[in-house]
Amino acid sequence: MGSLADLHCHSTFSDGRLTPAELVDLAYRNGVRILSLTDHDIVDGLPEAFSAAERYADFTLIPGIEMSTDVPGNEVHILGHFIDWHNPTFLARLRRLQESRLNRARRMVERLVQLGKPISWERVQFFAGEGAVGRPHIALALVEAGHVTSVNEAFSLYLSRNGPAYVTRDRLGPEEVIAVLLEVGGLATLAHPRELLAAGNLESLLAVLKAAGLTGMEVYYKDYLPEEIDTFRDLASRHELIPLGGSDYHGLGGPQQKEPGDIPLPIEPVQKLLALARERGALERARIAHAR
Ligand code: AMP
Ligand code: ZN
Ligand code: FE
Ligand code: FE
């Protein structure tokens, strides 16, 4: 089922395979008319996405980001939409996060060498290209070197949080990240809550994050099943969070991959998000469809 909106996608500026322009084109071809590019801890792909959006009169592009945060025992990703991505303090903070990603990736490569699964730093850099380096780039180098057969296998054998090659990096807590996003006029949404539900601390976390200024939660995410969607919609409603969603498209393949727009996200919650952005004076930071 195709959705008119997709609020969570990645490009070559983080660990996605398509350039921002290619992503915009693919999303448009798939029927998406409201898109947000949400690369990991980086906004450098947004200029290209905005110029690509100009090709389509009936297309809205929301500036976005996905920020990684840590809670004890788990990772929490927060999406920021309608951010003022030119803010110098914000950009300086993102640069520091990029540096910490680089250092961490180098240390993971060293671990892999020690584990007898050598890959070269140059190949990781090659896969990362111009953007934020992440574990998927290390996974691609492991596949290329023949140590694993797929990105998924690289994660399950080496790179996951409990894997032998995993190294942590500097991260803010989710409340701090929400504050950072609010400072630049963004609207904060909790991404892919399934792991947090499984860990059993989602209810208390939602209460804390709501108090910190969270306004949305992903409910219509990638491979979530109808009964999971029901569970998360109910949770979002009880915590007065807008039930949003996205494909989290990376273009790296794999069994759970969904194309941009290939999620059952209804338009009403997206309209709520747009209305809230308007209320906060943030709507002007999106490129709004000019054809009606
Ligand atoms: P990083 O930002 O370097 O911590 O890498 C995290 C990213 O790796 C996530 O945003 C996902 O896109 C990707 N990822 C996490 N687990 C897996 C997995 N099992 N298979 C493929 N990609 C994954
Ligand atoms: Zn990613
Ligand atoms: Fe994520
Ligand atoms: Fe993502």
Got the DSSP string for 88-119? HHHHHHHHHHHHHHHHHHHHHHHHHHHTT---
Residue 166 lies in a domain: no
Residue 88 lies in a domain: yes
Q: Are 35 and 147 within one domain?
A: no
d(CA 248, CA 19): 15
**Amino acid letter for position 112:** L
Q: Are 187 and 149 within one domain?
A: no
Residue 248: per-residue pLDDT: 97
* Average confidence (pLDDT) over 18-29: 98
Residue 167 lies in a domain: no
Q: Are 201 and 152 within one domain?
A: no
Q: How many domains, the chain?
A: 2
Q: Are 187 and 279 within one domain?
A: yes
Index of the ligand 1 atom closest to the CA of residue 136: 8
Q: What confidence tens digit (pLDDT) does each residue in 78-105 have?
A: 999 999 999 999 999 999 999 999 999 9
Counting residues of the chain whose pLDDT is more than 90, the rounded percentage is: 91
Using alpha carbons, select from 131, 136, 133 the residue that is nearest to residue 45.
131
CATH number at residue 29: 3.20.20.140
Q: Are 86 and 221 within one domain?
A: yes
C-alpha distance from residue 200 to each of 122, 203, 204 (Å)? 40, 8, 9
Residue 146 has pLDDT above 70, yes or no: yes
In this structure, the residue with its CA closest to atom 5 of ligand 1 is 135
Neighbours of ion ligand 2 (CB under 5 A): 15
Task: Confirm or reject: Cβ of 155 under 6 Å from ligand 1.
Answer: yes
In this structure, the residue with its CA closest to atom 11 of ligand 1 is 136
d(CA 78, CA 45): 18
Residue 130: per-residue pLDDT: 85
C-alpha distance from residue 223 to each of 23, 155, 193, 246, 283 (Å)? 19, 18, 12, 10, 29
Residue 11 has pLDDT above 70, yes or no: yes
Index of the ligand 1 atom closest to the CA of residue 75: 4
Counting residues of the chain whose pLDDT is more than 70, the rounded percentage is: 99
Quickly state the pLDDT bin for 292 (edges 50, 70, 90): very low
When the pLDDT of each residue in the chain is averaged and rounded to a whole number, the result is 95
Q: Are 78 and 146 within one domain?
A: no
Q: Are 120 and 62 within one domain?
A: no
Residue 109 lies in a domain: yes
Quickly state the pLDDT bin for 254 (edges 50, 70, 90): confident
Residue 165 lies in a domain: no
Q: Are 33 and 18 within one domain?
A: yes
Residue 113: per-residue pLDDT: 97
d(CA 290, CA 292): 6
Residue 187 lies in a domain: yes
Which of 117, 132, 159 terminates a domain? The answer is: 159
Quickly state the pLDDT bin for 1 (edges 50, 70, 90): low
Kindly report the pTM of this predicted structure: 0.95
Residue predicted with more confidence, 49 or 131? 49
CATH number at residue 108: 1.10.150.650
Q: Are 109 and 71 within one domain?
A: no
Cβ atoms of 232 and 202 closer than 8 Å: no
d(CA 251, CA 9): 10
d(CA 161, CA 138): 14
Q: Are strands 187-190 and 74-81 parallel, antiparallel or unpaired?
A: antiparallel
Q: Are 152 and 246 within one domain?
A: no
Residue 169 has pLDDT above 50, yes or no: yes
Residue 92: per-residue pLDDT: 98
Q: Are 194 and 277 within one domain?
A: yes
Q: Are 26 and 128 within one domain?
A: no
Residue 192: per-residue pLDDT: 98
Residue 243: per-residue pLDDT: 98
User: Rounded to the nearest 5°, which phi and psi values hold at 236?
Assistant: -60, -45
User: Rounded to the nearest 5°, which phi and psi values hold at 245?
Assistant: 175, 175
Q: Is 90 exposed, middle or buried (0-12, 13-18, 19+ CB in 10 A)?
A: buried
Residue 152 has pLDDT above 70, yes or no: yes
d(CA 118, CA 57): 49
Pick the range with the lowest mean pLDDT from 22-26, 86-90, 251-255: 251-255
How many angstroms does the Cα of residue 66 sit away from the middle of ligand 3? 7
Residue 2: per-residue pLDDT: 87
Index of the ligand 1 atom closest to the CA of residue 138: 3
Residue 164 lies in a domain: no
State which residues form the domain around 191: 5-93+173-291
**Cβ contacts of 248 within 8 Å, gap of 6 or more:** 8, 9, 10, 191, 192, 221, 222, 258
Residue predicted with more confidence, 1 or 204? 204
